[in-house]
Structure 1
Amino acid sequence: MSNFMYLFRGGDENFKKLSQEEKQAHMEVWGEWMGGLKEKGQLLDGLPLGDEGRVVHNKGQLVTNGPHAEGAEVVGGYLIVSAKDMDEAVELSKGCPIFDYDGAYVEVREIMTMDTH
């Protein structure tokens, strides 16, 4: 088994347009999907990310407000899942509620280990 990170991009603008009741209902769908992954022992971690951040350049000599990505490029959250390979990780991501929003997508990346020797 390997660990994979899902980076959730896009959909924020559409989510912000929903009523409070619609937002709550959508978050329940997320909870069900993530709960299913957790039940199978495949959800290791994950949370939404705040809208604001900082971008650090030049070994800390320059710090700017960020992120600078636009719309669908902004990372809104992440999950870390365990899967046997990239194909399984991609298959698991297909149930993600982010796909309820046009233009939103999931970037699936394998988390590599670093050899410190």
Structure 2
Amino acid sequence: MDQANNEFVFLFRQPDLSHNAENHDEIQKKWMEWIDGITSQGKLASNGLHLTPGGSVLKAGGVVTDGPFVEIREILGGFIVVKADSMDEAITLAHGCPAIDEGGSVEIRSVFV
């Protein structure tokens, strides 16, 4: 098995907030402040990508279904990659993530090389 390095992916799972357009600027500000805090510590390895709520899922046998997670009201909103010496440090960096305040979560995964 490959060995883990000191990078961790933060996957942001959160409710679909597309209906909450009036608070968009406030939510964006919270995200930028949180990411700026990680950046100022020299811990941001990649700003990752923001993902659209919908998509398609290809399953065995060529079956294609709409969206991921069509049966629940949670979306994978995006991800970033951070540098940390341990899972504990990565978890500490994840504290304060706006996805948590919005009723979501941050999934933290070590990157293998």
1-structure distance, mates of 2:102, 2:11: 15
Aligned residues: 107
Q: RMSD over aligned Cα, in angstroms? A: 1.9
Corresponding residue for 1:27?
28
1-structure distance, mates of 2:102, 2:60: 36
Kindly indicate whether the alpha-carbon contact (under 8 Å) linking 2:53 and 2:76 is maintained by their aligned counterparts in 1: no
Unaligned runs of 5+ in 1: none
1:55-88 Cα deviation digits (max 9, x unpaired): 12237x333222134123x211111111001000
2-structure distance, mates of 1:49, 1:3: 21
- Residue 2 of structure 1 aligns with an amino acid whose one-letter code is N
Corresponding residue for 1:47?
49
The answer on 1:17 being equivalent to 2:32 is: no
SS in 2 for 1:16: coil
Moved over 4 A (4+): none
- Residue 94 of structure 2 aligns with an amino acid whose one-letter code is S
Unaligned runs of 5+ in 2: none
The answer on 1:82 being equivalent to 2:79 is: no
Normalised TM-score (structure 2): 0.81
Q: For residues 18 and 100 of structure 1, do their structure 2 counterparts lie closer, same or farther at Cα, with a shift above 3 Å needed?
A: farther
Q: For residues 28 and 91 of structure 1, do their structure 2 counterparts lie closer, same or farther at Cα, with a shift above 3 Å needed?
A: same
Following superposition, the deviation at residue 48 of structure 1 comes to 1.7
1:21-50 Cα deviation digits (max 9, x unpaired): x21022011111111212222112222210
1:87-107 Cα deviation digits (max 9, x unpaired): 0000100121122223x1111
Name the % identity. Answer: 34
Normalised TM-score (structure 1): 0.78
